[in-house]
Amino acid sequence: MNDHFAKQGKFFPDSDGVRQAAETLSHTDLRDFFQKYVSGVDELPWDSLLSRVGLRVTATEVTYADPGFEAAQAFDQSPTVVQVDPQSEADRAGLKPGDIVLQMNGRHAGRDFEKNIANLGARARLQLSVSRAGIQYELQWTLGASKQKVFRVEDLAHVTAEQKSRRAAWLFGKGDEKQTSLQ
C-alpha cells in the first residue's frame, strides 16, 4: 500500500481499498469479515480465531490511581498542570491548569512524576506543593480510582503440535501456505 499509494502521492481508497489490499495479500474473500467486524459493530471472536494456533484471550480488570489531573513535563522542568478534571478531588483541592508542581509528598517532582503517582495506588493521599503566579500553595487530596480492562494473549492449557505449527506459519511464514491464515 505504501509503494502503490503514499510513495506515488496518491490517496488510498478507505475501507474498500483496505479490504481489497487484504484480500490480495491473503488470497481470500474478506467481504463478510469487513462487513461484520470493520464496518460493523460485532466483536471479533478472538478465542475462536486464536484457538487454531493454540492461543486465547484473557481479560483482567485493573484498578489504578486517578489523580484527577494531567500534567506535561518538558525535559528537566517541573511538571505543569495542563488539565484538571471537573468535580475531581484535585479540582476540589484547588489545583488549577498552569500550576507548576514543585514537590509531591515532600519529594522533588522529577521526571518520574506520573510513575510515582501510579505507584502510590488508588485511594492514597497525595500532597502537592505547587507554584501559581509566583506564590507557593500546599494542596492535598485522596487519589481517585479508575478501572481498565487489560487484555492478554496466552497459550491454551494444552497446545498441540498442529497448533504450534500453525502458529509458526502464521507468525513467521514457515510451513504450508494454507496454515498461515487464522480463519
Summarize pLDDT for 47-91 with one digit per residue, the tens: 999 999 999 999 999 999 999 999 998 888 899 999 999 999 999
- Asked if residue 111 and residue 129 are part of one domain, the reply reads yes
Report how far Cα 159 is from the mean position of its chain's Cα atoms. 28
Task: Output the pTM of the full model.
Answer: 0.60
pLDDT band at 12 (very low <50, low <70, confident <90, very high): low
CATH code for the domain in which residue 131 is found: 2.30.42.10
**Lowest mean pLDDT, pick from 15-19, 117-121, 143-147:** 15-19
Q: Are residues 107 and 87 in the same domain?
A: yes
Binning pLDDT at 50, 70 and 90, where does residue 159 land?
Answer: very high
Domain count, the chain: 3
Q: Please, what's the b/e burial string for 39-63 (b: 16 or more CB within 10 A of its CB; e: otherwise)?
A: eeeeeeebeeebebbbbeeeeeeee
pLDDT at 174: 64
Element at 71 (helix H, strand E): strand 69-72
182 confidence band (pLDDT: 50, 70, 90):
low
The percent of residues in the chain predicted with pLDDT above 90, rounded, is 64
Rounded to an integer, the average pLDDT of 5-18 is 74
What is the pLDDT, as a whole number, of residue 14? 72
Q: Are residues 181 and 131 in the same domain?
A: no
Q: Verify that 38 and 51 share a domain, yes or no.
A: no
**Domain that includes residue 95, residue range:** 68-142
